[in-house]
Structure formats: C-alpha cells, structure tokens
Amino acid sequence: MSALSDVQATLDPSRKSWIESANDSTSDFSIQNLPFGIFSDRHNDARRVGVAIGDQIADLAVLQSAGLLQVPAQHVFARDTLNDFIALGRDAWRGVRIQLSHLLARDTATLRDDPALRAKALVRQADAHLHLPVQIPGYTDFYSSKEHATNVGAMFRDPKNALLPNWSEMPIGYNGRASSVVVSGTPVRRPNGQLKLPDQERPVFGACRKLDIELETGFVIGGGNALGEPVACADAEAHIFGMVLLNDWSARDIQQWEYVPLGPFNAKTFATTISPWIVTLDALEPFRVAQPVQEPQPLAYLRHDGEHAFDIHLEVTLRPREARQASTIARTNFRHMYWTMAQQLAHHTVSGCNTRVGDLMGSGTISGPTEDSYGSLLELTWNGKKPLELKEGGTRSFIEDGDELTLAGWCQGDGYRVGFGTCVGEILPAQR
C-alpha cells in the first residue's frame, strides 16, 4: 500500500477502537480523529505530547520509548511543545497517524493486551492538565466572513455599502500578539483602556464596558517559508499542520476609539484563547466541501482549484457565574467562510513575509446567514440594542464579570465525530 492509501485507511468510518469511549458517536475524539496536544498529569508533571482518543490520552513519549512508534527523531515526544515534532514534516505527521490508528484499532492486540504498558501509555483526560500545544512565534488574525464583515459595516457605516472596496479582493488581516495567546481554561481579565463616551469631548480611562467574543478557528503552520519566498495558493494546505478553536476576545468600546487609522490594538491584545487539541487536516479531509462563490474572481495568486472549505459545526454557550446551566447563544458553520485558509496563507506571504513552525492564523469571526448564526455578541445583540435572553433568566448585551464562554466544534461523520473539544474562558474583573 502507498502512504496515501494508508492515510485513507485511518479515515475509514467503520474502524473502531479497543478504547470503547472512542466509539461513542458523540465523542469528539474518535479513532478517525487522533488530534495532538501537550499534557501533564497528577502522577507526572512533565509536559509531553499526547493524542486524544475517547476519554483517554495516549502518551506518545511512552509509546516511542516502548518501540511502538517509529519517528525520525529520538525523544521528540518528551517535549513541552509540539514544535519539534511538527518540524519533522508532513510525512512524519502522517506516519505517526498511521501507526497510532493501527495500534489503537480494535483488532490490534499489541497494546490492548499488555496491561502493564497500557497503564503507562494511557492517561484519563479527567486526570490530565492540558497546556498550550505549540510555541507560537507569530499570530495573525483575518477578517474573512462576508456575513460578519457585512454586519459590522452595516452597523457602523452605510448599510448599502457595508463592505469596503478591498474586502472582496483580498483576505484582510492584522498582526496580533502571540504573547497573549492562552490555552482553554485560562481565566481572562477584563481589559482597561481609553473609552470615548458619546457625551464627552475627550476619552476617559476605565474598564471595558462592551466585552465580546469572536467565534473563530485558527490554523497552525506546519512548514514555514523562507523570507522572500511566497507560498503558492495551490501549495498552501501542505504548509498547515492542523486547526484549533479560537476565541478572539474583543473590547468593542476600546476598539471603536482606537482602530482608526491602523486597526485594532489594545482592544485585541489582552487575550486570545485556543483549544488544546490540534486537529490535523488529514482528519478533516472527509469533511471537505466547496467554499462560497467568490465574486469578483480573485487575482491569479489567490486562485485554487477544488474544494477548500470544511463542514465544521460550531456553537457558543454562555454561563453566568451563579447559573447551573449554560445558554447556547450561537450556532454556525466554518463552511460559510468566504476566504479559505489557503488563500489567507498565500496572501500573507505574497509580499515575501516568512512564516515559522507554530505560527497561528485566526480565521476571523465566523458568522452565518441567519441571526442565530452570528459569531459575536456585537452582531447577536446588534451592538446591545437587542439583548439575548438567557436560559435561567436575565439578559446579555455584552459579557459580564464571572461569565464563562465556551466554544465547541466538530465534524459529524457516519457514526463518529472528529471534534475539537472545547475552548473555554471565564472573565475576571478588571485590574484596579
């Protein structure tokens, strides 16, 4: 068999694992998924590489030491980030995926029937602590949902000319702060900044009053490009290791005052939360779908043949501090994104900008065509004019202290899921 056909075999919907929790049709972490992350646990505080499978984590450092994973680098899984493994390249990622899929398959006895090794190699997710999966050299956030850009333009500019002329010609983006990207579960403090109140001539300093989320995904660079050597759109997906959920926390009132003329700054830099598991593009391949029709036709360097969107279901819940149940406030799908990941990377590098392993690229807010599919509170409440009703009473126009926001995402297969887990953050009061 060829390497490509071996990868295809890992996607077989009928493949089951001897780890029974992975066979639950609602589990994010089926044997068809096998996402990578960094974890430690209460018995071993060393951070190392793991793969989620059902309610367990497979410790790849243990499996490599036991000779069950062949990788072209020693001790590459006994590291506190995925960067060194990712840097081995696409053949290595696929090789590990193929080996793990076979090792964890229901009919493979090697690990299944070795209780001593199994006890070392598997850690319950409930007993693990998940960490930021990669060291992130650089972070860029795009603005690639036509629905989101149209809503914001209609809200703050002329509804008849909501999109600026350049929006339909290129993937708009800005360079964010890699230093403030945090892993799911990290509390986020409400930012302070300059606020321009409508009845005052000069700004005031204080805590953000319009704190918001942006429901996004992000992709992680797996193969960088040299300075001065752009990545072609047709080749771009080969440079992507995988995807995460991403919450681009946004201080709308700070943003409104500061963004002219150079775009967002302190309104975005205080925190960006990502999910801990990176889902590879190979795992997402069965869910590839056509992207929206692009009019006008993009310039030549942004053109690619085939389908480059993915059918990823996304939702957001909000739970106030005292609430027992969270309220679902939005449901949408990644397939609505106008500009593709390949186009984003091609445009990012067309000037000669280099990228590095671990660079993070945010999709931009993912909004759909209906009011309940908008990816931000700014849109869902139309800048606070239409507050949302919560399940246990009360309303929200923007996020309040103590609120916990959770993003979730998954692809639904025939009897299995390829999921991202969750991306969670609780808001703490502003520093006084």
Active site residues: 148
- Coil, strand or helix: which one is 87? coil
Q: What is the SS3 string spanning 129-143?
A: EEECCCCCCCEEEEC
268 is in an annotated binding site: yes
**Is 311 marked as a binding-site residue?**
no
Task: Name which of 195, 204, 197 is nearest 251 in CA terms.
Answer: 195
Q: What are phi and psi of 343, to 5 degrees?
A: -65, -40
Consult the annotation and say whether 248 binds a ligand: yes
Verify cis geometry, omega within 30 degrees of 0, for the bond prior to 298.
no
Tokens 């690619």 — which residue?
304
- The three-state (H, E, C) secondary structure of 286-338, written as one string: HHEECCCCCCCCCCHHHCCCCCCEECCEEEEEEECCCCCCCEEEEEEEHHHCC
CA 121 to chain centre: 27
User: Is 272 annotated as ligand-binding?
Assistant: yes
Beta-sheet pairing, 181-183 with 272-274: parallel
Would you call 419 helix, strand, or coil by DSSP? strand
Closest CA to 248 of 211, 279, 206, 280: 211
Yes or no: say if 365 and 353 are a contact pair by the CB < 8 Å rule. no
| DSSP percent split of the chain into helix, strand, coil, nearest 5 | 25, 30, 45
- Phi, psi (degrees; rounded to nearest 5) at 331: -135, 130
Q: What is the DSSP string of 109-159?
A: HHHHT-HHHHHHHEEEGGGEEEE-SS--S-EEEE---HHHHHHHHHHHS-G
157 is in an annotated binding site: yes
295 in a labelled binding site: no
Gyration radius of the chain's alpha carbons? 22
Q: Write out the two tokens for 42.
A: 């209460």
Any known ligand binding at 401?
no
Question: What kind and span of H or E run contains 271?
Answer: none
Check whether 141 is labelled as a binding-site residue. yes
- Please tell me whether 255 is known to bind a ligand: yes
Do the annotations mark residue 403 as ligand-binding? no
26 annotated as belonging to a binding site for a ligand: no
Q: Residue 80 contacts by C-beta under 8 Å, 6 or more apart in sequence?
A: 38, 47, 48, 131
98: tokens are 């193929």
Any residues with CB less than 8 A from the CB of 26 and at least 6 apart, and which? 417
* Residue positions forming the annotated binding site for substrate: 143, 157, 255, 259, 365
* Residue positions forming the annotated binding site: 141, 143, 157, 214, 216, 248, 255, 259, 268, 272, 365
* Residue positions forming the annotated binding site for Ca(2+): 141, 214, 216, 248
